Every structure is written in C-alpha cells, then in structure tokens.
Structure 1
Amino acid sequence: MPPTSDTPRTAAPAGEDKIVRRKLSDEVFDRLRAMITSGDLRPGDPMPSERDLMQRFGVGRPAVREALQSMQTMGLITISHGGRSRVNALSPDSVLDRVDEVAQILLSSAPDQLENLKEARRMFEMGMVRLAALRATEQDLFDLRRILDDQRGHLDDPRQFIEADLRFHARIAETTRNPIMAAVSASMLRWLLRYYTALLHWSGNEHKTLAEHEEILTLIGQKDPEGAVNAMRRHLDRSSEMYRYES
C-alpha cells in the first residue's frame, strides 16, 4: 500500500542525508587534477597563474594557494617561488618516493611491521624472480654477473658487500621489464636497509650469500622460473634473520 500522510515514516539514520560542504580549495584541486589527467596540462607545462585560476574558478587567492600546495605535497606539481609552477612527470619511482618518509616512521614506531615487511618482500621477490627468469636478456645476465663479481670483491668491506647485495636484487627487479615492480622493489629495499645494520658486525655468511646469488643467477640464465623461485625462497628464508629491529 502506498504511504499516506498518516503512514509513519522510518527515520533515516542520523547523518545519512547530511549535506557536506566541500572546501573551495578541494574543488580547485579537483579541477586542476582533471586538467592534468585529461592532458590539458602535460608534464613540464607551466601552471596557470594564481590570478588566472582565481578568475577561471571564481575563487579567492587562499583557495588557489591551498590547492596548489596540496598538489605539490602529492608530487603533482613543483611550486617555484619567483617563477611559474610546473607540472611534474609522474613515474612509479617518483610516486613511491613520496611515501618513503611515512613508511620509515611507520616501521620505526611499530616494530612488528618489520615482520610484515619481510613477509611481503619474500612473496614479492619470488614472483619477481619468476618473471626475471622468463624475460632476462644477455645484457641483464651480464649486469647481474658484474654486480655479483663486485660483491665478491668486497668480502672485507661489509658496507660495500651489503650495497652490492641490494643492487643485485634491484637489478633482478629491473629484469622483469615492469617499472612498477622495480619501483616497489627499490622502496622495500630502502625500508629494509635501516634494519640491515646488524650485518656490519656479522661475518661468516658472506660466502653463503654469494653461493645463493650465484645459484639464482644461474637459474635465471637457464630460463628456469621454478628453480629460480625455489632458490630465492631459500635465500630469503636464510637471510631473513639478518634484518632485526634494534631499539
């Protein structure tokens, strides 16, 4: 039966129909972001002047400046004082660089997150090395061999040995030909590096690391994705304890 004026109405939950007024700066931000995503503003292009934006959108200078500041914080533009602000070229690397500092704070303030990071990295690198084994070129293999030889030459220099270790894994990421995977891998390695300091006082396992890297490289060169995955799993399981939180 259709409701009448006497039919009781069910009250809507509090706040369900509330109309929220958006800040003018948010509206300006959305308009500018749409101009970038549509291609009206391309990487390297100068942003319209504050006066132009005020006239175009019918808002005051504070709303425009707040919107531009938000865009710079997100890495969409670079504000140049005394010059024209410009649209940034975005890439997986530039986007993930923006979260580095926040990630470092998270890991420092919540030590339990280290185990989550190690678990995520383990699964990520196993998938990554599978692609590397399928896609590696002779140049990739040459570069990986050169990094491994460099690492072997720094057995008496822990810092250089660790740096070569990280470069080896980063180069495997590049071998996937997937820029997002390469950027995520680089970020994970940076986040883990703060926990790698224990290795500066650790010795005796350098030759194990080299042997494991050698096995991984050989299996990539043989186009053996399953073998490479298993070798990477063993390597990361063995080296996982080298990353520790130290208060």
Structure 2
Amino acid sequence: MEPVQKKKLYIDVLERIMSAISTSEFPPGSQLPSEKELMGMIGVGRPAIREAMQALQQMGLIRISHGERARVINPTPDVIVAQISAAMIMMLSTNPRGLEELKEIRLLLETGLVRVATRRATARDLDRLAEALRELREARGNNLRFVAADMQFHALIAEMSGNSMIAAVSKGMLDWLSRFKRDLVSVKGAERLTIEEHERIFKAIVNGDAEAAGKAMEDHIGRASELYTQYIANPPE
C-alpha cells in the first residue's frame, strides 16, 4: 500500500474559497477579501493564499487586476472553454493523434448539432445564416477572411442549437481547428467545394429537413478531413 499523500495547504484554501463562491457567499461580480483578510479568515500564510488565487484565475473563476481585489467571474461555458484553449492548441501542435481525434469529435458533434439547429431554427437564425453564407462567397481569394467566414457559419449553427454548453465547446473546437486550416483553402477547388457544401447544409436547414442537414454536414466534414490528410501528405511546393 502507498502512504497517504499530505494535501498541499493551498489546495485546502482553494477548496474553501470555491465553496464560498458556490454557496453565494461571494457571488459573481463581487470582490473577494484582500490577501491579508483571507490570511486571517482561513489562518494560513500569504504563499498559500497566492497559490490558491492563481489557481482560481486559471480556472476562470476570478479575475485579478493590478491594484484591485480579485473579482468573482460568472463561470459561463464560453469563459471555461477560453481558459483551456491555449493548452488545447499546444496539445494539437505536439500530439500526432491530436488533430485526428479532434476531427472525429467534430464529426460526431456537428452532425448532431445541425439536426437540432434545423428543428429549432427561427426566421432570425436563417437570416443570420444566410448572411454568413454571403460572406463566405464574397471572401473567395482571401484566405484569412474565408476561414473566418467558414468558422462563423458553423458557430451560428452551434448557437442555433440553443444549448450554451455545446455551443461553447463547438466554437472553441472551431477556433482550435482554424489555427491549422488556413492553408487548405489555397488548394485548387477547395473554396468552390466548401461554398457548395455550405449551400447544401443551408438549404436543408431552410427546408426543415434535419436528416438531410446532418448528411450534408457529414459529407462536408468528411471531405474536409480527407483534404487535410492529402495536404499533409503532399504539401504544395
């Protein structure tokens, strides 16, 4: 049997402050007590308080500004996903299987999302999606603008699902992918195919055909993944 590991002091402080936040002793928008006040309240030294505060900031639960007391942040899905984005991008850059696994997640997530979005689409949603499609067409020839328009189209579909947690994860995932996708639109025929595929997705959503929308999304993501694989194997000179 392995010996019981002694819990680090800052972890106990972290748990105490998190408990106070979760029970609304320190609700979102409020300021935490000063370091000196926390030291007296919890009965620990400054190093443990500072480590706990840094951990809370990394978790996206507080914001620390120079010269001010830490402020509690409302932990929305968007804030939480943003906190892990830098680490995720690093992992994708260094893990040989990272992008393949992310593309697999995207396929499963977005084909389901577009079905839900189709069933829940409002007239305003369709107008916004049509505008995103127009922007995609007009962005041909401009790599950065084209990728941004592509990502916006997919992000709107995620929002249309009405599920803020899934939408945040989906938009975060799209941002991670966009870091590795920009060169692909320069491949001959890629822009035209991308536009045509988005038009098919849009048409299915407008027609209220959730299954057709799911199939169109599956074809689109599958083709994009295949293009990426070919690009990596045979990059342009």
TM-score by length of structure 2 reads 0.91
Note if contact 1:47-1:84 (Cα within 8 Å) is conserved in structure 2.
Answer: yes
Question: What does residue 94 of structure 1 align with?
Answer: 79
Tell me by how many angstroms 1:40 deviates. Answer: 0.9
Tell me by how many angstroms 1:163 deviates. Answer: 1.6
**Counterpart AA for 2:27:** R
Question: What does residue 155 of structure 1 align with?
Answer: 140
After superposition, give the CA deviation of every residue in 1:150-191 in whole Å (9 maximum; x if it has no partner).
111222323322221111111111110111111111111111
Determine which of 156, 179, 189 is the counterpart of 1:194.
179
Quick check: 1:132 aligned with 2:120? no
Aligned-CA RMSD value: 1.7
After superposition, give the CA deviation of every residue in 1:75-98 in whole Å (9 maximum; x if it has no partner).
211122321111112111110111
TM-score by length of structure 1 reads 0.88
Determine which of 19, 23, 28 is the counterpart of 1:38.
23
Question: What does residue 233 of structure 1 align with?
Answer: 218
Quick one: structure 1 residues 159 and 25, their matched pair in 2 at CA, closer, same or farther if it must change by over 3 Å? Answer: closer
Q: 5+ residue gaps in structure 1? A: 1-13
Q: In terms of Rg, which structure is larger?
A: 1
Quick check: 1:83 aligned with 2:32? no
Determine which of 118, 122, 139 is the counterpart of 2:107.
122
Question: What does residue 89 of structure 2 align with?
Answer: 104
**Counterpart AA for 2:172:** S
Note if contact 2:63-2:73 (Cα within 8 Å) is conserved in structure 1.
Answer: yes
Question: What does residue 129 of structure 2 align with?
Answer: 144
Aligned residues: 232
Residues in 1 aligned to 2:11 and 2:142: alpha-carbon distance in whole angstroms = 52
Question: What does residue 3 of structure 1 align with?
Answer: none
Note if contact 2:81-2:168 (Cα within 8 Å) is conserved in structure 1.
Answer: yes
